[in-house]
Amino acid sequence: MIFINEEKRIFNLRTENTEYVFGLDNENLIRHIYWGNKINNENDFEMDVLCEVSTNDPVYEITPEEYPVFGGLRYSENCLKVTFDDKTRDIVYKYDGYEVDGDLLVIKLKDVYYNFTINLNYKVMEKYDLIERYVTITNESDQSIVIEEIYSGQLHIPYENLIFRNTHGHWGAEQQMFKQNVSYGKITIENRKGVSGHNNNPYFILDKNATETSGEVFYGALRMSGNFKGVIEQTPYGETLVQMGINPYDFQFTLNPKESFTTPPLLCGYTDKGFEKMSHNLHNFAKENLLREGLRPVLYNSWEATEFNVTCEEQIKLAREAKKIGTELFVVDDGWFGQRNSIHNGLGDWYVNKEKFPKGLNPLIEEVKSLGMKFGIWVEPEMVNPLSKLYIDNPDWIYHFKTRERTTSRGQYVLNITKKEVKEFIYNMLDNLLSNYDIDYIKWDVNRPICEGGATNLGENERKMAFDHIQAVYDIVKELKKKHKNVLFEACASGGGRIDLGILGIFDDFWTSDNTDAYDRLFIQHTYSHIYPIKAMRAWVTDCPNFLSQRNIPLRFRFHSAMMGTLGIGGNILKWSNEDMKLAKDMVEEYKSIREIVQEGDFFRLENTSTNNYHLFEYTKDNEALLFAFLPQTQIGHRPVRVKLRNLDEKGMYEYKINGETMVKSGSYLMNYGVNIHLRGDYQSEIIRFDRR
């Protein structure tokens, strides 16, 4: 709900449990007042008059502005920096009214001299305790304006000494959470590679010693892929600031007369109930607004089994085995097209390789379909190998600078898809593929960062290419989905390089990481779950020793770890023993019986109260709950852990099986006393199902 006190010039955005308040101050600045629990009395808020502490602490510096622009006596990070046609680089805005449209509040600002408007948009998502912030700038003048920096918003957190959380990591180790105490100075997270990246992720979590179930957490996630930046700063004036949005790194564009530009939205939330509530708010938003309905199929992917040595015969053999264990979707990965025998050739030449598929793809697809499975295929449309025919014929189709060598990475270049003809080529290639073959699933990969971002087609907006690049990817997929409505798209970037809220919804699944080691995955999946929904988290069971970690982990544990998300099998099942195939079949069957709870239920990271390194997770939906318990290595003997469940009906009675014994206990008992889990040995795991009687 949106409340406006016209007299006091105060705006109040109220969600189910929170309130976000700001107003217009005596300097005509849009000043932040409050972000926290719901107060329910909008008239209590006042706009104090701020006095300059000293000439060295000017009023602009101490004013918690909602959207500080570059100009005047402002020296902190700003959200918007422009150069007007006459070279003036200073913005002076005045308040120009507001508009309300349903749950959207628009605060209108206008430069006092230039015909340039800045609309601050606030969308209230009441049910999820979220507010979406984005900004629209419009050049109403007859001269062009150069935009050098534009963030989606600034947030004010009324504390010092907070704890900041985000991800570090690299390929094969995405989603590694780091915690950092915030003190004076700035923390910067960013990506400059064109894809969101394996390192930092476009979100912030700031807490005051919160736990999963208690404590204040301020958080936000950017709905954008690619080059983002976030700055977290504890100021000398008793608060912590966050700015997030498009990375100003190698970024600039010209806003021509009568043109507008809207930033990607930043979804922000507050809770005093810990990280669990934060995740539920974001998960529920994604599940109900971004993700396509329907349960995700159990897939088989051939990459780890065959790599580039794809043949029709071998794929058919794999498909038959995959069917035996209950797989519902068979995906042919890299290697089926062009002269794709290694990383050095093929990308760009999207014809079916005749040596590998002498009669085309149809014999494989027909076999897969006759087995009752769906069919999926891998593509990497944004890329081209220098040896490909596509590149030889169109050397100008890649990002490059005329006088510089073109740098390959993984043996490939990045296509300049901001060029109309390149974008059309990619759309047509995929449209043909989807029209000519019975394909249900596209795994869209990207395996190198962008560099040498020359794109002369963009003229004076060349430095906007990283932003335009990802918009072109979104456009292509959105357009394809209009025509090929039932096709699911997986966002992959050398594993989890494209996990962000910008791409989610346009794509349906994330490939979480190339690291399929079931133990490492527990950490990756744990961190992933802070922001992103379980339903989009693809996880495969692969062979041991794992190709990355060289670790040997029992198949049951590998299955249980992958069953935490949307299950896939990615090992060479032609080599699996009868015993392993039997176990795999049972596990897939079990997954199918619980996947509705896993994919669509509420997810909980449970507390481990023992000194043993148990990893404990719970899922609940309607009258059922699942407890996933993992013990990678036992420590100090075989000690049990008592684990308290979450989100059960206190008065309800739940039946569950533990150590072969059937038990019936009340929800209240299970949530307060808990369940004793006693796993013995290394790499032990259990999924316990609680059914309400």
Binding site for ligand DGJ (CB under 6 A): 303, 333-334, 378, 445, 447, 492, 494-495, 511, 514
Which residue is at the shortest CB distance from ligand DGJ?
334
Distance CA 469, CA 477 (A): 13
Collapsing DSSP to helix, strand or coil, 168 comes out as: strand
332 vs 564, beta carbon nearer ligand DGJ: 332
Distance CA 13, CA 123 (A): 9
Sequence-separated (6 or more) residues with CB below 8 Å from residue 55: none
Distance CA 375, CA 345 (A): 25
Distance CA 539, CA 526 (A): 13
240 vs 516, beta carbon nearer ligand DGJ: 516
Amino acid identity for residue 455 in this structure:
A
19 vs 445, beta carbon nearer ligand DGJ: 445
Phi and psi at residue 329, in whole multiples of 5°?
Answer: -140, 130
Give the shortest CB-491-to-ligand DGJ separation in angstroms: 11
Environment class of 380 (CB within 10 Å of its CB; exposed 0-12, middle 13-18, buried 19+): buried
157 vs 310, beta carbon nearer ligand DGJ: 310
Catalytic residue among 500, 509, 514, 602: 514
Give the shortest CB-511-to-ligand DGJ separation in angstroms: 6
Give the shortest CB-495-to-ligand DGJ separation in angstroms: 5
Collapsing DSSP to helix, strand or coil, 467 comes out as: helix
Give the shortest CB-191-to-ligand DGJ separation in angstroms: 18
Give the shortest CB-494-to-ligand DGJ separation in angstroms: 5
DSSP string covering 21-78: EEEE-TTS-EEEEEEEE----GGG---PPP--SBTTB-HHHHS-BSS-BS-SS--S--
Give the shortest CB-299-to-ligand DGJ separation in angstroms: 12
- 440 is known as an active-site residue: no
64 vs 568, beta carbon nearer ligand DGJ: 568
Residue 346 in contact with residue 333, Cβ under 8 Å? no
Give the shortest CB-329-to-ligand DGJ separation in angstroms: 15
Side-chain-side CA neighbours of 473 within 13 Å: the count stands at: 33
- 445 is known as an active-site residue: yes
Please report, for residues 200, 556, 667, 668, the alpha-carbon distance to residue 651 in angstroms, rounded to integers and kept in the order given: 43, 34, 6, 6
10 vs 383, beta carbon nearer ligand DGJ: 383
For 389-465, list the strands marked E by DSSP.
413-414, 441-444
Phi-psi domain of 321 (left: phi exceeds 0; alpha: psi -120 through 50; beta: other): alpha
Q: Looking at the DSSP assignment, which residues form a beta bridge with residue 283? A: none
For 383-534, list the strands marked E by DSSP.
383-384, 413-414, 441-444, 488-491, 509-511
Give the shortest CB-178-to-ligand DGJ separation in angstroms: 23
Collapsing DSSP to helix, strand or coil, 264 comes out as: coil
Q: What is the DSSP letter of 352?
A: B
235 vs 311, beta carbon nearer ligand DGJ: 311
Catalytic residue among 334, 349, 440, 445: 445
Tell me the pairing of strands 266-271 and 217-222.
antiparallel
Q: What is the DSSP letter of 291?
A: S
66 vs 334, beta carbon nearer ligand DGJ: 334
Which positions are annotated as active-site residues?
445, 514
